[in-house]
Amino acid sequence: MKRQMKVVFLILVFLILAAAARAGDSLDPLIAPELASLEALYKHLHANPELSHQEKATAERLSAELQQAGYAVTRGIGGHGFVALMKTGPGPTVLLRTDLDALPVVEKTGLPYASKARASSGQGAETGVMHACGHDVHMACFTGAARVLAKLRDRWKGALVMIGQPAEERGTGAVAMLKDGLFTRFPRPDYALALHTDAALEAGKIGYREGFVMANVDTVDLAVRGVGGHGAYPHATRDPVVIAAQIILALQTIVSREVRPIDAAVVTVGSIHGGSKHNIIPDQVDLQLTVRSYSEQTREQILAAIRRISTGVARAAGVPPGREPEMKVASDEFTPATYNDPALVKRLLPVWKQLLGEAQVVERDPEMGGEDFSRYGREDPRIPIFLFRVGTVAPERVAEARGGGRPLPSLHSALYGPAIHPTLATGVKAMVAAALELLGK
């Protein structure tokens, strides 16, 4: 009897240890051998960034990495996008996304692998290029996760759809891939996941949020038209410079006085151009705006208010009929708000907390930035999506900034340089564990 009890006890201990291993301890021996090559891949990608719609070499490098890991790769989806597919039998389909593109930013980090790349911005001007939004981290973690999940193919049943998406920074890449048959030519996902760097979270941590996490993004061009003339005779003109200035100030009342205080919204005039010489009043001044919101109702309210205010100010200034401001909303660059499926978030949090530790999985505030990853959930509302964060900043630097010291560079800053370790290992581990949880055992 005692011997039987001892055997039962040992079996229970074995099962408990096996469960712990399945929860994540067993991932470390699989991830550790990959870290040196993932660091080299990260540094290569960081030093060789490509702008939106120009990601040819980046896509080729990543698709080759996944092909080498055993995935069936289809290139040229929605431009330079690619799909890497692995099936192990009947079961759920999980989509994991990385973005590929960089930003028109001249890097100032001083890192030995800093980007010195230059490229045409698309408007004919040459610009510096930098992975200032962490897409190089995304790609390295994505590649590491693909390798580990391929090694663990006997541990899951279903389909992995690993996609490299172009043009996230322009908000057009997801739409292009969907129009090119992402959900018809390849298995339609039951779940869609993506990670994004966090420039204010300690490396080694994962950030999450249920519900709205990123905003609607609208790009608005406003042509303020007037009647030009000599700067010495302003009475004979209808000065669009003055009208534009009044419009800019009046637009600030939309969020403060028209949108409900509990609804998040932003109206920012990021660019103003007009005139050619000191003593010439121009015919036109061009404004470029970014508008952020969460709900569709708030979005429509803000856009209508911009049109109403700009027209009203111009008419009050005596602009002739037919010369009112012309407003264009760039529909091809609209990015809908990102909504993390609450049930999916709740399912994955215990997995990560057991894997990384309770204190390493933290709730983050919603943001007014935009992400076209939202498109995959909008295309089919039955597909739950989850965009989570991976910390990239050395803990001591976060503590210094919170204590009133040097501020942390934000995403899109020329000074943003992620801590490579443990960022890459954390991102790979979180992505692999999430995929294993969702795929059939």
Helices (H), 169-255: 173-179, 240-253
Query: Do 221 and 200 share a domain, yes or no?
Result: no
CA dihedral sign of residues 280, 284, 290, 292: positive
- Cα–Cα distance between 242 and 21 in angstroms, integer? 68
Query: Do 68 and 195 share a domain, yes or no?
Result: yes
Q: Does some domain include residue 17?
A: no
For residue 105, which of 113, 95, 115 has the smallest C-alpha distance? 115
Among all residues, which ones are annotated catalytic? 101, 168
How many domains, in total, are found in the chain? 2
- Whether residue 29 is preceded by a cis peptide bond, meaning omega within 30 degrees of 0, is no
Query: Do 209 and 220 share a domain, yes or no?
Result: no
CATH code at position 165: 3.40.630.10
Q: Give the residue from 305, 333, 361 where a domain finishes.
A: 333
Query: Do 110 and 258 share a domain, yes or no?
Result: no
Roughly what angle, to the nearest 10 degrees, separates helices 423-438 and 342-356?
Answer: 130
- Cα–Cα distance between 114 and 106 in angstroms, integer? 10
DSSP 440: B
Q: Does some domain include residue 10?
A: no
Full residue range of the structural domain in which residue 180 is found: 35-215+337-438
**Is the separation of the CB atoms in 257 and 347 below 8 Å?**
no
What string of DSSP letters covers 294-352? SSHHHHHHHHHHHHHHHHHHHHHTTPPTT-SPEEEE-GGG-BPPEEE-HHHHHHHHHHH
Q: What is the pLDDT along the chain (441 residues), one digit of tens a residue?
A: 556 555 444 444 344 434 444 444 579 999 999 999 999 999 999 999 999 999 999 999 999 999 999 999 999 999 999 999 999 999 999 999 999 999 999 999 999 999 999 999 766 789 999 999 999 999 999 999 999 999 999 999 999 999 999 999 999 999 999 999 999 999 999 999 999 999 999 999 999 999 999 999 999 999 999 999 999 999 999 999 999 999 999 999 999 999 999 999 999 999 999 999 999 999 999 999 999 999 999 999 999 999 999 999 999 999 999 999 999 999 888 999 999 999 999 999 999 999 999 999 999 999 999 999 999 999 999 999 999 999 999 999 999 999 999 999 999 999 999 999 999 999 999 999 999 999 987
Query: Do 226 and 373 share a domain, yes or no?
Result: no
Query: Do 298 and 357 share a domain, yes or no?
Result: no
Q: Does some domain include residue 25?
A: no
For residue 331, which of 216, 219, 180 has the smallest C-alpha distance? 219
Q: Give the residue from 269, 304, 333 where a domain finishes.
A: 333
Q: Does some domain include residue 18?
A: no
Q: Does some domain include residue 430?
A: yes
CATH code at position 320: 3.30.70.360
For residue 94, which of 208, 184, 193 has the smallest C-alpha distance? 193
For residue 55, which of 77, 81, 84 has the smallest C-alpha distance? 81
- Cα–Cα distance between 115 and 107 in angstroms, integer? 6
Q: What's this model's pTM, rounded to 2 decimal places?
A: 0.90
Query: Do 157 and 94 share a domain, yes or no?
Result: yes
Task: Report the DSSP beta bridge partners of residue 439.
Answer: none
Q: Which amino acid is at 255?
A: V
